[in-house]
Amino acid sequence: MTVWITQMLCPTRHCAFAGAWDDARTRPEQAEAQVREAMRRVGLTDHCGICGGGLRVEHAPTHYATLAEALPALTESERRNIASRRVLDRLGLTREPLHPGAGSAGATLDHFPPTADRSAPTDGASVD
Ligand SMILES: [Zn+2]
């Protein structure tokens, strides 16, 4: 089994949203659909909040075998990306402010069940 990461990237590779998944339970097209649904639920568009570029999907394998093994590194990467984004926001270098729910959901697609409460934003799983 391999843990993969699906990212929504602009042409300059800013990651607007991402989720990790394992290939024992999920296929790339399912991961993409889950990421797009999670983005829709929290009100993110198909454009980068930093530069305004259009987003495209990218699937990439990690060196992790299980989501449990990958989660600490993914969560740390998410934390660092959110901190960097806040600096860019404070410097006025972004087109849209960081979503208020960023970082609240964790970094795996397991955190985005199809029945999630839409009134509680759960985005922020951007990991690069
Ligand atoms: Zn961008």
| pLDDT tens string 62-105 | 999 999 999 999 889 888 988 998 999 999 998 888 777 676 55
Closest CA to 101 of 49, 43, 19: 43
- Token pair for residue 96? 């849209």
Mean pLDDT of the chain: 81
Please give the distance, rounded to the nearest whole angstrom, from the Cα atom of residue 10 to the centre of ligand 1.
5
Written as six digits, the tokens of 79 are 């934390």
Res 117: pLDDT: 34
Q: How far is the CA of 64 from the centre of ligand 1 (A)?
A: 27
Which pLDDT score is estimated for 88? 92
Which tokens belong to 87? 């600096």
Q: In the predicted model, is pLDDT for residue 111 greater than 60?
A: no
Output the CA 25–ligand 1 centroid distance in Å: 31
Share of the chain above pLDDT 90, in %: 52
Phi and psi at residue 28, to the nearest 5°: -55, -40
**Ligand 1 centroid distance, CA of 16 (Å):** 8
